Structure 1
Amino acid sequence: MLVLFETPAGFALFKVLDEGKLSSVEDLWKDFASSDKARKVVELKAFNKFENTSDALSAATLLIDSKPSKGLRKFLQKHCDGETLAVADSKLGNAIKEKLQIDCLHNSAVMELMRGLRNQLTELMSGLAEHDLGPMSLGLSHSLSRYKLKFSPEKVDTMIIQAIGLLDDLDKELNTYAMRVREWYGWHFPELTKIVADNIHYAKAVKMMGNRVNAVNLDFSEQKKWKQS
């Protein structure tokens, strides 16, 4: 199985080395906790670099409509013969299947895999440094925003809807991390979950305490400051 991953610099294809890992979605994040672990799950097979910002913008605008660009189609035809392709967008997968007859996969395991790849991207791709990726992403975002405003003035509300959707996704992500903190620290100090209900206050209490034996020496009246901050 191959994984199609979009970056501000171009399209990457990763080979899944151990497809059995995808059967345990809840534990998949552990395999991307470090770059060494991630390299045992995936490896970079090919990379199709954008020639310039215009090329990146053209590909990105087509992806918004779940359409593969000409360059992406050629890239996939060259490297995906006989392979199943994991994609982040099910509609894009349908378009690739229709145009290129490449079987595509999109499910919760694939999305968790994408999240792991994003977390270790610069470690898995030699020559793509994190300090280079940030400006590329920012530049492409600005170009894409200008494109949307210029060519779709009647759909400005779509940007607001997308922003609200992003906030919802972030809220879900934060809740997931908060539950993981409670689960992990709960093995060490299970009573704290009942004592502190608010997730933010819980995380701050854990950071403040460290080991539970330190609780007796701490002044938790500082919670008033947490509420104000």
Structure 2
Amino acid sequence: MAVGTRDKAVSTDFSEILPEEIEEKVKEAAEMSMGTEVADDDILNIRNLCEQVLELTEYRGQLSEYLQNRMVAIAPNVTILVGELVGARLIAHAGSLINLAKHPSSTIQILGAEKALFRALKTRHATPKYGLLYHAQLVSQTSLKNKGKMSRMLAAKAALACRYDALGEETTTEMGIENRSKLASRISMLESGFTRRISGTGKTVARHAKYEGISEVKQYSAAADSTLESSSKRKFQEMQEEQTPKRIKVEMAEEQPGTSQASGEKKKKKKKKEVQASVEPTEPEAQEEAMEPPKKKKKKKKVEIE
């Protein structure tokens, strides 16, 4: 292919080989170039280089097929969740599939970003949110603000899948397919802006129901009633019993005549005993009165007569 100089127009037609846009760019570059003749040695070297590039592409395809087959045989659930390339990198970084299964989900999330993690801990900055999982399809297709959440959820599911693949007796792909569908639905929820509140109050739900006009009729459940008497009820009952007036007690006694007579006789006997005890002086008091001189007694009598 001979290229003309700056003054001569390009006479070569590339429409059969290249599309129109690239053809125009090639013609513009040919007009601006000086143009030289290509020697036979240069053509041989160019051909050898093209053959090497083709061989490398074929070898890359063979390696990708081999890696895919091996990952499907060793860790099928991890392959479904993360992909064969990212899964192979995680296994290689951990050392083996069993070592990867021993790691918690927080460690799997940061695998490949150890330098950034220790740098952030030393400088007291924010720690990285993802390592090798950044190249996974589920994380890469999410927006920038949701990549951290998606990497955390994917790491949790990948940890379960690793343990299932490494220690499970049967190698089935049901777990990986189910978890991938859950993560995909979660991505759609995050991207749409509708998030599910796991904890907190139900004020937001009430607001939506107010504007949408949704009203549910709630009935009282009798099963929620407790038959046990609480301590506050008992205390209240005791206070009421203490504060009952005496009239009620008298009326109750009149209603039961047999018991009231017996109780009245007992009360009279008790009162008689109390009066006798108050009238009869004790032994030390009698001795003191005997020791007193009679003059004082006469004076007291005079005073009383006066």
TM range, smaller chain: under 0.3
Give the structure with the larger strand fraction. Answer: 1
Normalised by the length of structure 1, the TM-score is 0.23
Largest Rg, 1 or 2: 2
Normalised by the length of structure 2, the TM-score is 0.18
